[in-house]
Amino acid sequence: MSRQELVALSVGGVRFVTQVCTLQQFPESRLARMLSGDDQEFKQVNGEFFVDRDGTLFSYIMDFLRTLKVSLPADFSDYQRLQREAEFYGLYMLAELLSQEHLLRPRLEILEVRCSLQETQAFFRIFGSCSPTVETLAEQITVFTGQQAGHSWNSPFPSPKALLPLPLERPSHHDLAFQCGTNYSAGDQFVARYVSIKPDSRKLVNGTNVLGLLLDTLLKAGFRLLSTRTVSSEDKVECYSFERRQRPAGLTVTLSQSLGTSRGAQATRKQVQKGK
């Protein structure tokens, strides 16, 4: 067979069509030996190779052969069965990757938003179990300050004067803090702090509006609101708890130019960044 020739397989009644070169990724695997007729357990019926194994799990085998990457659905749970299938086909590198189940399972991410709405000001603090998520939020949120005359808490428009960006407070890698609203300065002057949350371009001064936009941003990012509770009735602090199942990084193998045994002597594995 030429490497670009198509070959059909019926695995447990599920039909697959692929190129010969895909099945030859690991020359010592049973799938590669099947093509040369060296493995008698794989029978040809009406021009198709018949394999009496699980067809659903074989779809993940094929995905690995095509991409050299293990990337499983968030609700996948049959790690041991898939590992046995990989061993049956002689794909020992895949079996080894599947043995690292803790790297393949989705992670549960927790996020808390604490908000205190005062008369003319609002204070926010965000705590997250995953520091990269907190870093991403810190890049999305910008606080601007400026003076305005005769404006109140409910003013929807920022001062026409230039607004200066302020750094967010970062007590640790897992939390950030900021505030918005107005402070009386002198005469009829107010010092106002506006909050902008990308991709929304508005500059909001009202704490209720900022809270609504922040919660909406988290929901659009895949978080689910778990609960709302009052942390301090005296200071009017409300806590909003969120969770999100974070897809794990995929595991991939890099093949050398000279392939040896498929147990991994000529391959290395590395963790790759999560795709969105």
> 112 and 242 in one domain?
yes
- pLDDT score at 262: 40
- pLDDT score at 103: 74
pTM for the structure as a whole? 0.59
Percentage of the chain modeled with pLDDT above 90: 57
Rounded mean pLDDT, 97-123: 88
> 219 and 203 in one domain?
yes
CATH code for the domain of 237: 3.30.1410.10
The CA distances from residue 107 to 68, 118, 213, in Å, are: 23, 36, 26
Neighbours of 26 (CB within 10 A): 26
Domain that holds residue 23: 6-103
- pLDDT score at 171: 93
> 239 and 128 in one domain?
yes
Q: Is 253 a member of any domain?
A: no
> 131 and 65 in one domain?
no
Q: Is 231 a member of any domain?
A: yes
Neighbours of 202 (CB within 10 A): 13
Q: Is 196 a member of any domain?
A: yes
For CA atoms 263, 268, 273, 276, the dihedral sign is negative
> 94 and 27 in one domain?
yes
> 23 and 62 in one domain?
yes
Q: Is 166 a member of any domain?
A: yes
> 121 and 231 in one domain?
yes
Q: Is 154 a member of any domain?
A: no
pLDDT at 154 over 80: no
Q: What is the DSSP letter of 19?
A: E
48-51/6-11 β-pairing: parallel
> 175 and 90 in one domain?
no
Among 6, 7, 93, which residue's Cα sits nearest to residue 51?
7
Burial per residue of 97-126, b for 16 or more beta-carbon CB atoms within 10 angstroms, e otherwise: bbeeeeebeeeebebbbbbbbeebbbbbbb
- The predicted-structure confidence for 9-21, as pLDDT tens digits, reads as follows 999 999 999 999 9
pLDDT at 40 over 80: no
> 120 and 38 in one domain?
no
- The predicted-structure confidence for 49-63, as pLDDT tens digits, reads as follows 999 999 999 999 999
Domain count, the chain: 2
Among 134, 92, 132, 136, which residue's Cα sits nearest to residue 112?
134
pLDDT at 266 over 50: no
Q: Is 255 a member of any domain?
A: no
CATH code for the domain of 86: 3.30.710.10
> 68 and 33 in one domain?
yes
Confidence of residue 72 (pLDDT cuts 50, 70, 90): confident
Q: Is 256 a member of any domain?
A: no
Q: Which residue has the higher pLDDT, 189 or 67?
A: 67
DSSP reduced 3-state for 138: helix
> 88 and 69 in one domain?
yes
Q: In residues, how long is the chain?
A: 276
- pLDDT score at 273: 32
> 58 and 98 in one domain?
yes
Which stretch of DSSP H or E encloses residue 82?
helix 79-88
- pLDDT score at 191: 84
Instruction: Determine the Cα–Cα distance for residues 132 and 124; give it in Å rounded to an integer.
Output: 19
